[in-house]
């Protein structure tokens, strides 16, 4: 299967959306009151649904059948790219802070 740009986009979009939605839902359900707790529960459910779809596309859940889009290879490349970007930014920030502190 040929890896194209939208495979990276779709895999990272689904992964980050699922994780962020679940975290925001837990935060809202725990600290919220009344309707906010219901919104938090809905966010958790949506995050779990998108998370299961992501796992199906990455072929972690083969019992659901063949996925519409195979994202198995793109996820590793996407996550490693994001980690590399974060590490590069942290190194640049560290050098910047070190230079400012010494000046």
The 10s digit of each residue's pLDDT in 31-46 is 988 888 999 999 999 9
| Rg (alpha carbons) of the chain, rounded to whole number | 18
Residues 5 and 93: their CA atoms lie apart, in Å, by: 29
Q: Where are the domains of the chain?
A: 5-102
- Other CB atoms within 10 A of residue 79 CB: 13
pLDDT score, position 1: 56
What rounded mean pLDDT belongs to the chain? 85
pLDDT score, position 3: 66
Asked whether residue 52 carries a pLDDT value surpassing 60, the answer given is: yes
Model's pTM, two decimal places? 0.72
Instruction: Compute φ and ψ for 72, nearest 5 degrees.
Output: -60, -45
Residues 59 and 54: their CA atoms lie apart, in Å, by: 9
């Amino acid at each position: 299967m040929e890896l194209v740009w939208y495979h990276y986009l779709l895999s990272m979009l689904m992964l980050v959306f699922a994780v962020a939605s679940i975290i925001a839902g837990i935060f809202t359900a725990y600290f919220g009151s009344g309707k906010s707790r219901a919104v938090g529960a809905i966010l958790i459910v949506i995050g779990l649904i998108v998370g299961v779809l992501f796992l199906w596309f990455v072929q972690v859940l083969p019992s659901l059948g063949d996925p519409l889009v195979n994202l198995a290879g793109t996820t590793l490349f996407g996550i490693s790219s994001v980690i590399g970007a974060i590490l590069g930014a942290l190194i640049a920030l560290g050098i910047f802070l070190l230079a400012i502190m010494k000046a």
